[in-house]
Amino acid sequence: MLCLCMDNMLILYSNDHMIKSTEKMLTSKFYMKELGVAIVILEINIYKTSNGLILSKSYWEKFREIF
């Protein structure tokens, strides 16, 4: 799956080989810079657990209530 957001991209696959091959293909066509593992995207927190990923908006909802 490929998710484009403005000028950022999030690549999601179940294995590292697919991620690396997708990055290799894209960098052969476009200038890209590795930003590392995503922690927050589209105001959604991403947590990695032993069972997979957890997506949560609770932090931002609490933050908005303060302001």
- pLDDT number for residue 2: 64
Q: Is the pTM of this model over 0.75?
A: no
pLDDT score recorded for residue 4: 58
Question: For 3-62, what is each residue's pLDDT tens digit?
Answer: 655 566 777 777 889 888 988 998 898 778 777 777 887 778 888 888 887 888 765 566
Q: What is d(CA 4, CA 54) in angstroms, rounded to the nearest whole number?
A: 20
* Cα–Cα distance, 54 to 51 (Å, whole number): 9
Strands 52-56 and 44-49: antiparallel
CA angle 5, 25, 50 (to 5 degrees): 65
pLDDT of residue 7: 66
